[in-house]
Amino acid sequence: MTTVMKNLEPQSLWRHFEALSAIPRASEKEAVARSYVLAEAARLGLESIADKVGNIVIRKPARPGREGAVPAVLQGHLDMVCEKNEGTAHNFDTDPIRLVRDGDWLKADGTTLGADNGVGVAAALAVMETADLAHGPLEFLFTIDEESGLTGASQFPGGLLRAKYFLNLDGEEEGTLCIGCAGGLNTVARRKVTFHATAAGEGWRIKVFGLQGGHSGIDIHKGRGNAVRILGRVLETLMGDMPLGIGAINGGSKRNAIPREASATVTIPAGRAEDLKKVVGAVETAVKMDLGAFDAGLRISLESVARPPQVLDDADASAIAGLLASQHHGVLAMSPDVAGLVQTSTNLAIVSTKDGEVEIETSQRSPIASSKLAASRMVSTVFRMAHFEVEHSGGYPGWKPEPASDIVRKCQAVHQEILGKVPELVAMHAGLECGVIGEKYPGMQMISFGPHIVDVHSPSERLKISSVAPFWAFLTGLLERL
């Protein structure tokens, strides 16, 4: 065990988490992580089944005397969001995550940590190998490609699981039990654009950075800045003040992350650099006032660069800049039933320029199917007004809360018994695999919980070390009492 993990308990959980952190496991690239899990099952002599897309089910018999207990399945996803700060030298296809221990927090060096959902997978593996836990019949479900659209869960077959209780280990807030989640839908817009050659002027790169970003569901209500939308505001303001050519616009990297950075290469007439700096500085000041303490790190930089050889035609440039500045991002409605819960939202996630086309990616969320569709129609209408073609994909269902179910009542009782407090019941404005898999297993009762993780899907992701032992105590205590 490395110095970073020294003296952390439970040792088996941390050992597996450290091993997973050394394995590159971006979405759709989980093969080595799958092999690790299958090797553990083989070492323990447990039955394992892989479905056609690569999800894994492992079965562990009940401890003698507990064969009549209600069967349960522990579930987590093998992939992680791969985000890094600009300037961080890290290849997510080959490099291990560099773990950093900072007081009571575990984080990574300039990248996402992968505690979402590496710590849940590690906990399941630790349960899988323990020999002194008086549990009933157990199944372990390790899914693939959760982060890019719940693909593994969506293609997981019905009829394979035998369990009655479904324990999702992808929770991120200690002291809570999640009993519901939002469904989601992706809305992608594309527009063919025309370029013309640039013959004169100065080249500049405008960059929006320093924002917190975060999860496009869990963090959507926190007032954080959207780098893509801010860049649109900068470009639209500049175009009203001076002749401006736009060579390329790019920003954001994940459909389920609030974009932290965005940039554009532009041309301006010679001698207008001071005007450029003045306008950009004024926009930066205005946006900082809008964001306040919600996202105080915003910066908009200017860098002199080689003049781009071609720029967008004026009509294309004006339409795209105006669209980015105007397309909605954020909360559309709050829940009337659960205080503080976002009901419907939309995330303006990615803009890219490539091969004569501008593509803009967004996602909408709501536990109510009609509200989710209404949000996507709203976004689509704005896109079509700017002459973009629109495509929808990746839809998945929500998970309806059932606060009176047996598993919820059992979890509440065990939590109070072992940890000394009644957990808060919450619903999550994010997609969990519970909704997707639950649709295929009617009657299966579900719950989601985990240790405390903050700023997931961003390089600021951190795992609260002191929350892991209580999470483990609750999980193992629950398994002994089912």
Which 3 state secondary structure label does DSSP give 101? Answer: strand
Catalytic residue among 146, 316, 361, 455: 146
Q: Spell out the residues 6+ positions from residue 147 whose beta carbon is closer than 8 angstroms to its own.
A: 27, 77, 79, 80, 81, 254, 256, 457
Catalytic residue among 30, 40, 79, 170: 79
Select from 437, 441, 482 the least CA-distant residue to 72.
Answer: 482
Handedness of CA 132, 133, 135, 141 (dihedral sign): negative
- To which residue do tokens 């501008």 refer? 358
Q: Write the Ramachandran bin of 182: left for phi over 0, alpha for psi from -120 to 50, otherwise beta.
A: beta
79 as an active site residue: the answer is: yes
Q: Spell out the residues 6+ positions from residue 62 whose beta carbon is closer than 8 angstroms to its own.
A: 69, 135, 136, 137, 138
The string of DSSP codes covering 412-481 is HHHHHHHHSSPPEEEEESS--HHHHHHHHSTT-EEEE----EESTTSTT-EEEGGGHHHHHHHHHHHHHH
User: Containing H/E element for 281?
Assistant: helix 273-291
Which 3 state secondary structure label does DSSP give 69? Answer: coil
146 as an active site residue: the answer is: yes
Distances (CA, A) of 390 to 96, 186, 262, 323: 38, 10, 22, 14
Give the residue ranges of DSSP H helices in 328-403. 369-385
Q: State the burial class of residue 153 (Cβ atoms within 10 Å of its Cβ: 0-12, 13-18, 19+).
A: buried
Q: Which residues are marked as active site? A: 79, 146
